[in-house]
């Protein structure tokens, strides 16, 4: 897998904290599995992880608290 940013062929499995701002709240998801470039620290999520994040965000939208922090591995 090549880095989209610096083209280095050195993406390592890692975890990252995903942060996004939605209409009425901020969402932080900790320990999201990703690939991280060892050259420039660019982070890439796999398609299945992005799908899962979408699901999590949809659920959070219904809860609608101001700031939402959760652990990826504990998402239901």
Those residues whose C-beta lies under 8 Å from the C-beta of residue 55, and which sit 6 or more positions away, are: none
CA-based max dimension of the chain? 40
Q: Mark the segment that binds Zn ion (CB under 5 A) among 8-16, 20-28, 55-63, 67-75.
A: 8-16
Q: How far is the CB of 39 from Zn ion (least distance, A)?
A: 4
Contact between 40 and Zn ion per CB under 5 A: yes
List the alpha helices (DSSP H) in 1-76: 47-63
Q: How far is the CB of 5 from Zn ion (least distance, A)?
A: 5
> Site residues for Zn ion, window 10-39 (CB under 5 A)?
37, 39
């Amino acid at each position: 897998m090549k880095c989209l940013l610096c083209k280095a062929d050195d993406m390592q499995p890692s975890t990252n904290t995903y942060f996004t701002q939605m209409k009425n709240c901020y969402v932080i998801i900790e320990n999201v599995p990703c690939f991280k470039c060892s050259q420039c620290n660019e982070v890439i999520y796999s398609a299945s992880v992005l799908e899962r994040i979408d699901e999590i965000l949809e659920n959070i939208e219904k809860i609608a608290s101001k700031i939402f922090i959760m652990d990826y591995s504990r998402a239901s």
